[in-house]
Structure 1
Amino acid sequence: MRPATMGRRLFLTGSAAAAAAVAMRPRTAYGADAPAAPQARTTAGWVRGSQGDGFAVFKGVPYAAPPTGALRFSSPRPPAGWDGVRDATAFGAPSLQSVLPGSSEDSLYANVWTPSTDGRRPVLVYIHGGGWKLGAASMPVYDGSKLAARGDLVVVTFNYRLGVFGFGLHEDLTDWRTGYAANWGLQDQAALLRWVSRNAAAFGGDPDNITLCGTSAGGSSTWQLALHPETRPLIRRIVPISAAHVWAPAVGLTPADARSALELTAGKLGTTVAGLRAVPATTLRDTFDGLFAGAPATRQLASGREYRGPVVDGYWMSGEDWQSADPGLPVLSVNTATEGSFFTGPGSPSPLPTPTTDEELRTVVGTYLLKGTDQVPAGLADSLITAYRAAAVAEGRPTDPLSVLTEIYGDGLLRYQIVRLAERRAAQCPSRQYRMEFAHPVRAPWFGSPHESTSPFLFGTNGIPSNAPEFGNGPLEQQVSDTFGDLVASFAHGSAPTSPNAPALPVFAPDTASTLVLGGPAVARLAVTPKAAQLRAWDTAGWVPRPV
């Protein structure tokens, strides 16, 4: 659940306004022979970006007021307006976290790439991942220039509040204006969508044609925002990639534990929950994160064992993802072929010992299962190992301990719910749903097609210096990247996902060749759901919830 360039610790106005922006555009300070810097008029004021090859980009555009001081733990407020033309050539700071330098609570900024500020193009809003704790839209992996220029899209990335500042629940933090007391990062994402709806036309975008896309924690957010009555009307379709669907205790806090976490943090700091607004930001971050250090069995709180995403609060999240209704919007759902190799390969964000024998494998699988339960049922580790080995033998895949652990890890935490939610939709509400598995292999010492290996190929940043050693930058990688971008861009334009390099993709139907497998020498092919036999081992395991 990390953007590739951060290392493995990471891993979530109308046409009238456009006409006004063109008619009222102020003069620039450039000479007569120099190209004018692109400008756009947002609802808060004019911004001046920079011109690239076939695109314009605006960075660090405020979409909400800084959530600092008294506004910490408050619902996002509109940004303050400004006079003149604001420079928009530098990214805003990452949201406060423990990894990226220069992070700050003052981080609610958007970035926009557009082929032109004239026109009315589809808008692709992308939500970064990072386990609801890390990451930033400013990371080089998320450069939107290729997607915008090749796909004829307006591409928007942005930051949102993370960690204790973004995801939690406590009534003592109720916002006096809105009445909300939880999920401030999810509220930021909703505010960004409203900002895009009001300002897309100024950047050459169509406010009535917004596609929401995200990876990992960001993929989960696309799902939750598509379900919410405030934001669903703003979204035309969604592209959840490797969505980390929320379920407690593994991928979220229960409401009771969310309250307790803030109360315990306040107690350690000698203040009240409301008093946390006045605590120095890094002290608050470190104290809260300290509650989740060490093995889950040693902690005071039983949930939030792997990640701490949105909390069920009755409004911004009415239930865990597996309990909730389908969003009902057109969807292109994506997972990687080996989600788990992100966690079992070099630089894992939550490393486990590498098993080399069956006895070690049994022990490590048992430790992994403690991420989702207080006590592992007798025989569960053995039954999963047996089922995964049998499936691997039948399909001619490796059966060594590391390979088996990798498949179990990725399926239980991620792929099982992704596929089962797609199957539920196909059975209950057949509509425009497409499925894709990203299967392009990474380079040694990494292996498989790990979780979050999708972002460099979607954005076409696989070849930048920080990414190329893992993802490659040869002709095949370029073709895979072009194909991925084509599929998402065509979907955003309103068609079925298409590319000159891929077969026609039918609407997803289980047990038919309706999953597009992207990657490898063939580039793209259709298949029945890969490794379906593995997933059946979880149906009766009672560990990861099955969508209902």
Structure 2
Amino acid sequence: MYVRDKTLLSLPSDANESPYIKVMSFSLVNSKPFVTITQGRLFGETVDFVDNEVSNIVTKVDVFKGIPFAEPPIRFSPPLSKSGWEGDWNATYFRPACIQGPDGFKFWFKPEMDEDCLYLNVFAPHPKPKNAPVMVYMHGGSYSVGSAIEEAYSGIPLAAIGDVIIVTTNYRLGVFGFFSTEFGGDKNSVTIFGESAGARAVHLHMFSKISAPYFHRAIMQSGVAEVRYDPAGEQKDALYVGSRFGCDTSDTHLMIDCLRDIEAMDLLYNSPYRIVPNVDGYFLEDSPENLILKGEFKHCPIIVGFNEDEGTLTASLYIENSETAKDPPHVQKEKFDEMVLSLLQGTGKFVNGLIEDSVKQEYVDWSHADNDSADYLDTFVRIRSDQRYSCGAIEVSKAHARLQIPAYLYKMTQIPSNSVFEYYGVGPGWFRAGHVEDVQYVYGTGFITELLESQPATLVDKQLSVEVMTFWTNFATSGDPSRKNLSDTIGDEKWEWQKYELPGQRYKVLGPGLPIERAPRSDECQLWTSVIPDLRMLMMSMEDVEREWREEFSDWKDNLDDWRNAFRQSQDNTC
């Protein structure tokens, strides 16, 4: 159990069971761990971790919360390094999350918020290790919500079971290896990992020459890089925001100064668009697509993967009241058509009827096409899962394999006993192995009973969590998820995780039995990565040809009219 002041023992219901079998606890230890860094001294708290049920690990973890890694930021300006402080910094409680609005599942994010939010948290094995691997986590949330202060991101189980240092951080980012040496970490063994938008941020760092020297391995869960490259559009959006608040948009500097004076929440709720990473010529010199083609990315080992039912979360956003329903909604054909069209249009790329029909041709079960009561929910889930998550992960694996860079691909199929969206008493009961559900296995959430008081995690979930945490921390230690040391032999075959290679295309299934399978979603991803891009080029080329023809025809008509007028005028003159 997870308690603040004492260790609790859960007595067995069966008298024949050992009274220690059910013990799982985090408890505070009286002594305070102190660490001295460049900026000054700070203290945290030491916590006991006890699991006699699955991992059989009894150990301690030093926890430091709310460590500033930058000065309170000036809005729209790069962060500045944190200056020193007097006395001891109290690192026993979380600081506020960055400013964010209710977006999607707003009940999942209930932190205090402030623009002064550039803090991180460290979870380190106790006693202080020597040159322990460091894992820096970037949370998800579409670059617009989320924080590092959620209990679901507690690094205690992961640090305890994997014997690594875990760092969680609020955005804005750029803290690889920050303070790692002082906490017993190895600055030459840093793994960055993240989920969803956090995974996309991890992947973007792999393309940045600025970031490259500071990390050595990367893990991307349910997300790979995507950026916006539209300087004219970005300028237009910025000017629109400025004009909306009555700022002078004729001078960029004056507009920014004006926007800095706007109340943060007013700016948040009245900005009409979502800011996403872009090609700025500094952090990112070109689009990830072009950099992958040129092989210009950090050549380091990666784990990358996706969940079986990623698309359930997106489906719930299209269907009223479904985000709190216990049973899956029924999606009729008309609604399905609307959802697919909206999904395709939401990519910001060229879409027409032929592209829409191509997607349906691949995914729809046409044997039920004449059944008006047919349910298209699973069809939409498959479309969204591939379009947004699985095919991107597979393409990144292929890019690494072509250059013989170690890549380990996975697919999570485990349906958790508790959805991460139900931790606070509300949420859907039908997401299956959906988006974000992998986080609970990576972080050992099943061992944090504060989140699961009403319905504890099952033994099956806890077992898979220990296995996933072992894979992740093995990788952070050796670069190979199968083993902590490359000289070790792999015992039980469940621990074998082969590299993704061409033509083998083998990947790990994070589900019952932990099997190895090959070539996931091959036909479907051929559609998304080859057929649809070719169709877009063809259709856009045809539109260009048609537009040029219409322009030439219009010019010809104008010239013809001019010729007719000149001819009539000459006739009039001769007469």
- Give 1:354 deviation, angstroms: 6.0
2:303: which partner in 1? 332
The answer for the alignment partner of 2:531 in structure 1 is 540
Which residue is equivalent to 2:547? none
1:118-147 residue CA offsets vs partner (Å, 9 max, x unmatched) = 422000000001000000000011000011
What count of residue pairs does the alignment treat as equivalent? 451
* 1:355–1:379 CA distance, 2 compared to 1 (3 A): farther
Q: CA deviation at 1:80?
A: 2.0
**What amino acid maps onto 1:282 in structure 2?**
M
Cα distance in structure 2, aligned partners of 1:338 and 1:365: 16
1:311 to 267, 278, 290: 278
Task: Report the secondary structure of 1:55's partner residue.
Answer: strand
Runs ≥4 in structure 1, deviation > 3 angstroms?
345-360, 389-393, 462-472, 543-546
Give matches, 1:136-535, under 5 Å.
136-160=147-171, 185=172, 189-190=173-174, 192-193=175-176, 196-197=177-178, 199-247=179-227, 252=228, 254-272=230-248, 273-274=255-256, 275-288=258-271, 291-292=272-273, 308-324=275-291, 325-345=296-316, 356-373=331-348, 376-389=351-364, 400-427=375-402, 429-442=403-416, 445-462=429-446, 464=448, 468=452, 473-498=457-482, 502-512=494-504, 514-519=506-511, 521-522=512-513, 524-535=514-525
Whether the 8 Å contact between 2:196 and 2:223 is mirrored in structure 1 is: yes
Which range is displaced more, 336-345 or 403-412? 336-345
Instruction: Tell whether the 8 Å contact from 2:330 to 2:375 is kept in structure 1 after alignment.
Output: no
Distance 2:61 2:277 in 1: 35
CA contact (8 A) 1:93 1:104 kept: yes
Q: CA deviation at 1:102?
A: 1.8
Q: Percent of aligned positions with the same letter in both sequences?
A: 24
Residue pair 1:339, 1:449 contacting (<8 A) in 2 also: yes
| Secondary structure at 1:201 match in 2 | coil
Amino acid at match of 1:529: A
Root-mean-square deviation (CA, aligned residues, Å) is 3.0
Distance 1:38 1:226 in 2: 34
Equivalent runs, 1:89-100 vs 2, <5 Å: 89-99=92-102, 100=110
Cα distance in 2 between the residues matched to 1:332 and 1:262 = 36
Larger RCO, structures 1/2 (Cα 8 Å, 6+ apart)? 1
Cα 1:259–1:461, aligned 2, differ >3 Å: closer, same or farther? Answer: same
Q: How many Å apart are 1:388 and its aligned residue?
A: 1.8
Q: Contact (CA 8 Å) 1:122, 1:206: kept in 2 or not?
A: yes
Contact 2:123 2:166 (8 Å CA) reproduced: yes
Q: Which runs of 5+ in 2 are unaligned?
A: 1-28, 49-59, 103-109, 249-254, 369-373, 418-427, 484-491, 538-575
Report if aligned partners of 1:219, 1:244 keep a CA contact under 8 Å in 2: yes
Superposed displacement of residue 434, structure 1: 1.0
Distance in 1 (alpha carbons) for counterparts of 2:70 and 2:196 = 24
- Residues of 1 paired with 2:438 and 2:199: CA distance? 12
- Could you say which residue in structure 2 is the equivalent of 1:83? 86
Q: What residue in structure 2 maps to residue 58 of structure 1?
A: 64
Distance 1:391 1:482 in 2: 42
Equivalent-residue separation in structure 2 for 1:318 and 1:392 (angstroms): 48
TM-score, normalised by the number of residues in structure 1 = 0.76
Give the distance between the partners of 2:78 and 2:285, measured in 1 at CA: 18
Distance in 2 between the 1:330 and 1:541 partners? Answer: 30
CA contact (8 A) 2:119 2:170 kept: yes
**1:334 to 1:44, Cα distance in 2 relative to 1, 3 A:** same
Partner of 2:550: none
Larger Rg belongs to: 2
Offset of residue 327 of structure 1: 2.4
Kindly indicate whether the alpha-carbon contact (under 8 Å) linking 1:362 and 1:381 is maintained by their aligned counterparts in 2: no
Report the Cα distance in structure 2 between the residues aligned to 1:123 and 1:271, rounded to whole angstroms: 45
The one of 109, 121, 127 aligned to 2:132: 121
Question: Which residue identity lines up with residue 85 of structure 2 in the other structure?
Answer: W
Worse-matched range after superposition: 35-44 or 509-518:
509-518
Partner AA of 2:531 in structure 1: T
Cα distance in 2 for partners of 1:86, 1:121 equals: 24
Distance 1:141 1:543 in 2: 42
Secondary structure (helix, strand or coil) at the match of 1:479 reads helix
Whether the 8 Å CA contact 1:391–1:533 is kept in 2: the answer is: no
Quick one: distance in 1 between partners of 2:231 and 2:454?
A: 39
Partner in structure 2 of residue 72 of structure 1: 75
State the secondary structure of the residue aligned to 2:160. helix
Distance in 1, Cα, partners of 2:241 & 2:450: 37
- Residue 103 of structure 1 is matched in structure 2 by 113
TM-score when normalising by structure 2? 0.73
Give the conservation status (yes or no) of the 8 Å contact 1:120–1:204: yes
